[in-house]
Every structure is written in C-alpha cells, then in structure tokens.
C-alpha cells in the first residue's frame, strides 16, 4: 500500500507538472498575441490615417477644381 500511495503521489506530481507547463504555454501564447496585436493595431491606425489623408487630399483637389 505504501508503493501505491507513492505512485499516486508521483502521478499527481506529474499531472501537476504537466498542468503547469500547459499554463506556461497558455500565458506565453497570450503574451505573444498581445505583442502581435499591438503591432496589428498600430498598422491599422497607420492605414486609417493614410486613408483619411487621401480623402482630405481628394476633397482639397475637388474644392480647388471648382474655383
């Protein structure tokens, strides 16, 4: 019975270790998502600003063309 208790402890210990590794991997993937998400947000903002700038230039061209 002593061996079974030890075996059970080892299994739980290994399970705990596996769970910790899974949690670490999950944290790392979330961190990477946040990092890449930040880059994607910056890229989206830059593109949005470019589009707004293009719209503004077109508007100015239209107004100067009317005069």
**DSSP string over 33-49:** HHHHHHHHHHHHHHHHH
pTM: 0.42
- Distance, in Å, from the CA atom of 47 to the CA atom of 61, rounded to the nearest integer, reads 21
pLDDT in tens, 6-50: 555 555 566 677 788 888 888 988 888 777 777 778 888 899 999
Identify the pLDDT of residue 29: 82
């Amino acid at each position: 019975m002593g061996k079974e208790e030890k075996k059970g402890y080892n299994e739980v210990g290994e399970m705990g270790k596996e769970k910790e590794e899974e949690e670490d991997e999950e944290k790392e993937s979330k961190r990477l998502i946040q990092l890449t998400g930040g880059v994607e947000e910056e890229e989206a903002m830059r593109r949005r600003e470019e589009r707004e700038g293009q719209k503004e230039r077109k508007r100015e061209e239209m107004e100067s063309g009317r005069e």
